[in-house]
């Protein structure tokens, strides 16, 4: 009977000690997993921020290109308006002939309807 009591007491001590280690290990593993999860999430955030910065810089480059194209487009429109305004005078000066109003009107209409051949490597907006 004494051996049985001693064995039960030893078993309870081992069980109690095992429960303490289990609690410590569980806490340690939980802390490690939390720390690891936080670290991996931080790394993911850093990767996303780097990607966002790259995309942001590409967007800014594209905006600069678009602004440059707009400025050239507006400059070309202004040049076109100026050429149209001075067309009647320029054609008479270049031909050294004074045309009557009807002829100038026809030339002006033809000038407005003109078509240019498509240049390879350029894009058409219309």
Distance CA 62, CA 64 (A): 5
91-101 mean pLDDT: 89
Predicted local distance difference test score (pLDDT) of residue 75: 94
CB–CB of 108/87 below 8 Å?
yes
Quote helix, strand, coil % in the chain, to nearest 5. Answer: 85, 0, 15
pLDDT digits (tens, 9 = 90+) for 36-55: 677 777 888 888 888 888 88
pTM over 0.95? The answer is no
């Amino acid at each position: 009977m004494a051996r049985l009591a001693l064995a039960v007491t030893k078993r309870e001590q081992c069980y109690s000690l095992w429960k303490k280690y289990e609690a410590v290990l569980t806490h340690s593993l939980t802390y490690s997993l939390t720390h690891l999860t936080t670290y991996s999430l931080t790394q993911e955030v850093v990767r996303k921020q780097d990607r966002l910065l790259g995309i942001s810089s590409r967007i800014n480059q594209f905006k600069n290109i678009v602004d440059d194209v707009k400025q050239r487009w507006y400059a070309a429109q202004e040049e076109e308006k100026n050429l149209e305004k001075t067309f009647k005078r320029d054609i008479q000066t270049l031909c050294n002939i004074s045309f009557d109003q009807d002829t100038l009107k026809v030339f002006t209409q033809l000038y407005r309807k003109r078509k240019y051949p498509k240049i390879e490597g350029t894009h058409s907006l219309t």
